[in-house]
């Protein structure tokens, strides 16, 4: 593949005991593009995510992340929080993982931890209330406010995250990931559990993140309408291996993809085919 990949996964394999969850998987995610990772349940998509974000150590293979300035980082050599901090890869979770007892605003403030830690002089400047810290704190609040506004939650900024409706929690989690100012945003089923209107709003949000922030996005999604609408590139997995990749249009007509879905789940197969008509 030509172009300028932000992330290139090279022969990634992940085994749990005797089970091979991901087998020799290679694909690229283009810079400032939305790449979708799809496949039937149990295809190993979330495992790929967990490898990329360092929650699992892959059995073998390499994942190279290249920043805009050309600086490349081998993700398999870093652990989870360093990937988020140094490689600037942010993620969301399939089952939402907000800080439920903290407010929406606080959730976004926590996301800016590393920047704020520096600004607070590793806490000491903050403890004495230095002006430089105050400015940095205000800037962080402003950034949070901007994101709350973008996801339509400005009015609920001071509500506990655990009290927000499901759809709002999904969007808040994305906003929280964006507050880390990531180079690559990994979304694990962001449209799961959303209704049609919310899905449409989500698509809009993701497209605006790509165009306005210039953030590259990698997403796992079952909602084919979202995948087909916003993806620039689709990678299809089944039983831990890549069975197809290409543009949404190309994927939709690929008999291997349809077969994979038919074999796994009739409803999803129909969804894949219908989304083309």
Binding segment for another protein among 6-14, 158-166, 193-201, 215-223 (CB under 8 A)? 158-166
What is the smallest separation between the CB atom of 62 and another protein, expressed in angstroms?
A: 21
222-241 positions binding another protein, by CB under 8 A: none
Judged by CB under 8 A, which of 24, 80, 213, 254 binds another protein? 80
Q: Give the Cα separation of 75 and 241 in Å (integer).
A: 20
What is the smallest separation between the CB atom of 165 and another protein, expressed in angstroms?
A: 14
Q: Is 192 in the site for another protein (CB under 8 A)?
A: no
In whole angstroms, how far apart are CA 158 and each of 161, 171, 256? 9, 16, 49
**In the beta sheet, which residues pair with residue 180?**
none
DSSP classification of residue 210: I
Judged by CB under 8 A, which of 7, 73, 109, 209 binds another protein? 109
Q: Is 85 in the site for another protein (CB under 8 A)?
A: yes
Q: Is 164 in the site for another protein (CB under 8 A)?
A: no
Mention every residue, 6+ apart, whose C-beta is less than 8 A from residue 21: 14, 15, 44, 47, 240
* Residue 13 φ then ψ, to 5°: -135, 145
Binding segment for another protein among 122-130, 212-220, 243-251, 267-275 (CB under 8 A)? 122-130
**In the beta sheet, which residues pair with residue 67?**
none
Nearest to 44, CA basis, from 246, 235, 181: 235
What is the smallest separation between the CB atom of 191 and another protein, expressed in angstroms?
A: 19
What is the smallest separation between the CB atom of 74 and another protein, expressed in angstroms?
A: 17
What is the smallest separation between the CB atom of 15 and another protein, expressed in angstroms?
A: 14
Q: Give the Cα separation of 220 and 242 in Å (integer).
A: 14
Judged by CB under 8 A, which of 20, 62, 154, 201 binds another protein? 154
Q: Give the Cα separation of 203 and 110 in Å (integer).
A: 25
Q: Where do runs of H (alpha helix) occur along 62-130? A: 80-85, 104-111, 113-119, 124-127
Minimum CB distance to another protein smaller for 67 or for 273: 67
Q: Is 169 in the site for another protein (CB under 8 A)?
A: no
Q: Give the Cα separation of 124 and 5 in Å (integer).
A: 40
Interface contacts to another protein, rule CB under 8 A: 46, 50, 53, 55-56, 80-82, 84-85, 90-91, 93, 97-103, 105-106, 109-114, 116-117, 120, 122-123, 126-127, 141, 145, 148, 154, 157-160, 162-163, 176-177, 180
């Amino acid at each position: 593949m030509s172009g300028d990949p932000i992330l290139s996964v090279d022969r990634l394999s992940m085994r749990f005991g005797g089970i091979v969850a991901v087998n020799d998987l290679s694909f690229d995610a283009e810079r400032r593009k939305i790449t979708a990772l799809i496949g039937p349940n149990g295809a190993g998509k979330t495992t790929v995510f967990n490898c990329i974000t360092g929650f699992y150590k892959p059995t073998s293979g390499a994942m190279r992340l290249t920043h805009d300035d050309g600086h490349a980082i081998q993700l398999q050599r870093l652990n989870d929080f360093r990937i988020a901090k140094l490689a600037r890869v942010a993620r969301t979770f399939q089952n939402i993982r907000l800080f439920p007892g903290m407010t929406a605003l606080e959730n976004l403030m926590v996301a800016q931890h590393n920047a704020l830690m520096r600004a607070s002089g590793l806490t000491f400047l903050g403890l004495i209330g230095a002006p430089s810290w105050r400015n940095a704190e205000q800037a962080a609040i402003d950034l949070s406010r901007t994101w709350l506004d973008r996801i339509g939650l400005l009015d609920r900024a001071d509500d506990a995250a655990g009290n927000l409706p499901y759809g709002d929690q999904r969007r808040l989690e994305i906003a929280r990931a964006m507050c880390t100012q990531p180079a690559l945003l990994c979304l694990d089923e962001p449209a799961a559990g959303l209704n049609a209107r919310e899905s449409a709003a989500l698509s809009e949000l993701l497209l605006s993140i790509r165009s306005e922030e210039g953030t590259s996005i990698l997403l796992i999604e079952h909602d084919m309408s979202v995948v087909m609408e916003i993806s620039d590139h689709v990678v299809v997995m089944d039983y831990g291996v890549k069975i197809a990749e290409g543009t949404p249009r190309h994927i939709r007509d690929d008999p291997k993809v349809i077969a994979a879905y038919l074999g796994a789940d009739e409803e999803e197969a129909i969804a894949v085919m219908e989304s083309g008509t």
